[in-house]
Amino acid sequence: MRPETPSNIMKKTFGVLTALLLFFSISHSQPCNIPDSFFADDTIVVCQGSTFQLNAPVVPGATYTWSTTETVNTITVGFNGKYWLDIVEGGCTGSDTVTVLFNSFLLSPQVNDLKLCKGQPALPIPVLGQNLLWYTDPVGGTANTGMPTLSTAETGRATYWFSQTIRGCESPRLPVEVRVIDKPMFELGEAFIIPCGAAGITLQVVPDGESDYTWSNGNHGPSMLAPGRGTYSLYAENMCGNHRDTVVAVECEDRCVQFPTAFTPNSDGKNDRYQAACFCPVPEYKLVIYNRNGEVVFRTTNPSAGWDGYYQGKLQPVGAYVFYSEYYDFVLKQSFTRKGSFMLVR
């Protein structure tokens, strides 16, 4: 065998280099099928309490290596964190990272309780949020869209639970109480008697929780002390209206019906009639007036009626007259008979 000449060695070397360059040129001229990014967003928000699938693009013949050590193109995650993936296909490589957040801080809608007046048009429930849902229970139950239909036909209350949905995640539910109330309604009751020696009687009503109460003496609140005889009234007001009631108090030595000792029928507008002064309701009443000759000059069963001093069309003379009365005392709860005299004066 003849030894290689330098010229032959150079030719062979050149041929090998040419083949290598051609191989690398062919291999690098083939397109890379790995996309620049694997995930649509850098951060993905997922509803709390669920799982999520990370889907990488399918590249035939490629190998996958996740930060979780899994080697498939799709993995399931259940925790917050950063996840990255390396894809290798032939001479191509690619890498991408995504952050997955499980949303545990989704805000509930803004809600406020609502008060309505009985018999008046219902107002909308004050709720602000996106994609609102409402329920009749705090958990479970059927989701309803729109708003509940409210009625003000009767007083009462109802609770509705509202949530909002953002990016497919439903928030915790918040309650809204809807109350239908009426204007104040109360009664102070019948006239009452203050026992002898007592400091007074406490007047009170059951507060409705909605009204402001003002008594005739300027006191505020649902109760007050009535220290003695007189007329007491209570005024109450709320957003739906107002109400007032009055009651009469007498003391133990008082009588519902009092008879004056004189009257002056002179048409001056003052004390022109002889009539009883009634401090409380008088369901039964009779008054008869006699002159000095024993004749009946006036008779009535109306405690508001009185004698004007005339008999048979003539004004009667000055002097003493006699009265006789029977009546039922509403406060003391018994019947009384009274008789006595009075003066006709001019």
Same domain for 167 and 209, yes or no, is: no
143: domain CATH number is 2.60.40
Q: How far apart are CA 145 and CA 151, in angstroms?
A: 18
Same domain for 270 and 336, yes or no, is: yes
47: domain CATH number is 2.60.40.10
List, for residues 158-205, the tens digit of each pLDDT value: 999 999 998 778 888 999 999 999 999 999 988 787 877 888 999 999
Closest CA to 345 of 318, 320, 323: 318
The arithmetic mean of pLDDT across residues 242-248, rounded, is 95
Choose one of 103, 130, 147: the last residue of a domain. Answer: 103
Same domain for 230 and 213, yes or no, is: yes
Same domain for 231 and 301, yes or no, is: no
Q: Quick one: pLDDT at residue 6?
A: 53
Same domain for 277 and 334, yes or no, is: yes
pLDDT at residue 280 is higher than 70 = yes
Choose one of 202, 226, 251: the last residue of a domain. Answer: 251
Lowest mean pLDDT segment, chosen from 94-98, 256-260, 265-269, 331-335:
331-335
Q: Is residue 20 part of a domain?
A: no
**Is the four-CA dihedral 333, 336, 341, 345 of positive or negative sign?**
positive
Q: Quick one: pLDDT at residue 102?
A: 84
- What type of residue is 193? I
Same domain for 132 and 156, yes or no, is: yes
Same domain for 303 and 324, yes or no, is: yes
State the chain's maximal CA–CA distance in angstroms: 186
Q: Is residue 7 part of a domain?
A: no
Same domain for 92 and 169, yes or no, is: no
Q: Is residue 93 part of a domain?
A: yes
Q: Is residue 145 part of a domain?
A: yes
Average pLDDT, the chain: 88
Q: Is residue 298 part of a domain?
A: yes
Choose one of 71, 87, 103: the last residue of a domain. Answer: 103
Same domain for 115 and 177, yes or no, is: yes
Lowest mean pLDDT segment, chosen from 8-12, 42-46, 55-59, 324-328:
8-12
Given the DSSP bridges, would you call strands 257-258 and 262-263 parallel, antiparallel or unpaired?
unpaired
Q: Quick one: pLDDT at residue 140?
A: 92
Closest CA to 100 of 57, 65, 50: 50
Same domain for 117 and 77, yes or no, is: no
| Contact assessment for residue 17 and residue 25, using Cβ atoms and an 8 Å cutoff | no
Same domain for 60 and 91, yes or no, is: yes
**Is the four-CA dihedral 256, 257, 260, 266 of positive or negative sign?**
positive
Token pair 């990016």 is at which residue?
Answer: 167
Domain that holds residue 290: 257-344
> For the chain, what is the HEC assignment?
CCCCCHHHHHHHHHHHHHHHHHHHHHHHCCCCCCCCCCCCCCEEEEECCCCEEEECCCCCCCEEEECCCCCCCEEEECCCEEEEEEEEECCEEEEEEEEEEEECCCCCCEECCEEEECCCCCCCCCEECCCCEEECCCCCCCCECCCCCCCCCCCEEEEEEEECEECCEECCCEEEEEEEECCCCCCCCCCEEECCCCCCEEEECCCCCCCEEEECCCCECCEEEECCCEEEEEEEEECCEEEEEEEEEEECCCCCEECCCEECCCCCCCCCCECCEECCCCCCEEEEEECCCCCEEEEECCCCCCECCEECCEECCCEEEEEEEEEEECCCCEEEEEEEEEEECC
Q: Is residue 316 part of a domain?
A: yes
Backbone angles phi, psi at 306, to 5 degrees: -145, 165
- What number of other Cβ atoms are within 10 A of residue 208's Cβ? 17
| Contact assessment for residue 278 and residue 306, using Cβ atoms and an 8 Å cutoff | no
Domains identified in the chain, total number:
4
pLDDT at residue 14 is higher than 70 = no
Q: Is residue 8 part of a domain?
A: no
Structure tokens at 297: 């000059």
Q: How far apart are CA 280 and CA 128, in angstroms?
A: 57
Taking the whole predicted model, whether its pTM rises above 0.95 is answered as no
Q: Is residue 30 part of a domain?
A: no
Same domain for 233 and 285, yes or no, is: no
Q: Quick one: pLDDT at residue 24?
A: 43
